Amino acid sequence: MSNEKPVSEATNQLTHKEIMVILGGLMMGMFLAALDQTIVSTALKSIVEEFDGLNHYTWVVTAYLLTSTASTPLYGKISDIYGRRVVFQFAIVTFLIGSFLAGASQNMEQLIATRALQGLGAGGLMALTFVIIGDIVSPRERGRYQGYFGAVWGLSSVAGPLLGGFFSDNAQILGVTGWRWIFYINIPFGIAALVITSAVLHLPKVKREHSIDYLGAILMVSAVTLVLLSLAVYGPQNGWGDSRTITYLIVGIILTVLFLMWEKRAKEPILPLHLFKNHTFSLTSLLGAVIGAGMFGAIVMLPLYLQVVKGDTATSAGLKLIPLMLGIVSTSIISGKLISKHGHYKRFPIMGTALMTVGILMMTRLQVDTPFWQIAIYAVFVGAGLGLSMQTIVIALQNSVDFKDMGVATSSNTFFRSLGSVFGTAIFGSILTNRVGYYLHSNFADLETRNPTAFNGFDKLKLEETIKNNTAVLKTLPPEIQATALNAFVNSFHIVFFAAAPVTAIGFLLALKLRETPLRTNKEYAAARDEAVGESLG
């Protein structure tokens, strides 16, 4: 017997209590996906040491990002056809299987493959959370709930490095190798999300004539994967002139063009190109990519600064991200309540991107001896900017598209934000690596000029390479060399933040161009939903 409610009953307005119960299951799924983007980074050292897989370590992170990003738009379209709950639960089960197998991995190759499987599930968790809340809550009321999603993002940005550091710092927990718990910890939460969504997520199951655009899906996933491999992996690792980097990029661009040509002809395209005629869809897609790049630029670089320059442990660096989380959560809640009260949303991404830009520019003032209270202020600015922007643009997007396009439009926005975060992380990371090498060489040369005996007993060039590859060696160096190296890192972080600020400034200009339309109320939204269901049934 089906658990789905009849269409007429399911499209009635849910109570606040019912929405909060559903929200619990959605937030748990989203938290798992967001957490796994950051939790592995602090445990990589332990994993690499056990598997002797230093040459493959970046793939542990990249495999997850590739599959989660490439699969995101597919989930939106497939859920439009088969219904939200069954597809969301498929994503949870896929994520759980990937988590269990990743925890049980016996070598680097198995871990990379199972991380890719995890990412495949995570793509659905990230995309469908926003789609489902868009189904059950009108744009006018959605602001009341957006603070909870901001809290999930903020919590995962802190809990990821914190838990990763805790588990990897313990050799064994309950008889199991410490780092394996970063994957096993997902299982009880995932099962809870599965139980909650089975019990309460009753959305109308719409039967419609459908055809899945298999060729479009293959072209899109292939194009995204090749472009990401080129720009996010091989470019930073092997150099932008490397033959493999160039080949993957060219083939990826060709496949992108073929995908766009095919989507114009497809009966039921994976990514309907008519959506790009919608001004708000196009603008929020660009804005999402910019926010994604800025967000990961800050969230990745700030803990790195704290660990390398300030000498904090992974756990301590995670705790020091709490001001960033507070900024995200507080402004998400405040802006959400104001949107529901007054119905105006355009002002918030404008303020948000401006605050992000100011916060990132403030970070160019970071020095070796910068006190934590200053770092906390900079982090609050960036977090506040994210909180004001991230969920608000989803509300603007969902308010502007037809109900029948809700799934694919929302997941596409998540897709573009994921693309921005992957490219941002890769490009800012590449800038950091390049500048560290430059400043180490330059600063060491200046030190040798001032003090010819400073490097007695050291091979200067070899030392530069060692520091670039393993910052742990900094603690073992003489004070003068250590201070010189730390200044090289500080100067390099400045360049990264100077590069990130114009990106978020572009976001500010895009936000100014948003067109504010009246947010649909519960009554209007229910009518649009019933009409979309009626069309699909007719």
H helix runs in 104-173, sequence order = 108-136, 139-169
- Give the separation between CA 104 and CA 114, rounded to whole angstroms: 10
Measured N-to-C along each axis, helices 406-450 and 108-136 cross at an angle, to the nearest 10 degrees, of 130
Average pLDDT rounded to a whole number, residues 71-98:
85
Domain 7-212+268-439+490-537 CATH class label: mainly alpha
- Is the pLDDT reported for residue 486 higher than 50? yes
What are the structure tokens assigned to 410, written together?
């929302």
- What is the predicted pLDDT for the residue at 377? 94
pLDDT higher than threshold 70 for residue 397:
yes
Average pLDDT score over residue span 102-116: 85
Cα 387 from Cα 356, distance rounded (Å)? 10
| Residue carrying structure tokens 């901001």 | 150
pLDDT for the residue numbered 537: 42
**Which of 87-91, 103-107, 216-220 has maximum average pLDDT?**
87-91
Could you tell me whether strands 172-173 and 176-177 are parallel, antiparallel, or unpaired per DSSP bridges? antiparallel
Ranges 134-148, 297-311, 521-535, most confident: 297-311
Nearest by Cα to 507 from 335, 401, 382: 382
Angle at 224 between CA 223 and CA 230, to 5 degrees: 90
* Whole-structure pTM value: 0.79
Residue written as token pair 């994993």:
47
Tell me: pLDDT of 7 over 60.
no
- Residue whose structure tokens are 């939106």: 76
Taking the C-alpha atoms of residue 67 and residue 62, their distance in angstroms, rounded to an integer, is 9
pLDDT exceeding 90 applies to what percent of the chain? 15
* Residue 381 confidence class, pLDDT cut points 50, 70, 90: very high
Taking CA atoms, 95 is separated from 118, 123, 135, 426, in Å, by 5, 9, 23, 24
Which residues contact residue 319 at a Cβ distance below 8 angstroms, ignoring those fewer than 6 apart? 158, 162
Full 3-state SS string of 165-181: HHHHHCCEECCEEHHHH
Best CA proximity match to 302, nearest among 41, 59, 485: 41
Separation CA 474–CA 471 (nearest Å): 6
Mean pLDDT (whole number) for 234-260 = 85
Mean pLDDT of 9-26: 69
- With bands split at pLDDT 50, 70 and 90, how would you rate the model's confidence at 416? confident
Q: Is 520 helix (H, G, I), strand (E, B) or coil?
A: coil
Domain boundaries, the chain: 7-212+268-439+490-537, 213-267
For residue 426, what pLDDT is reported?
A: 74
- Confirm if 528 and 147 have CB atoms less than 8 A apart: no
Q: What are phi and psi of 177, to 5 degrees?
A: -50, 135
Q: Which residue has the higher pLDDT, 3 or 430?
A: 430
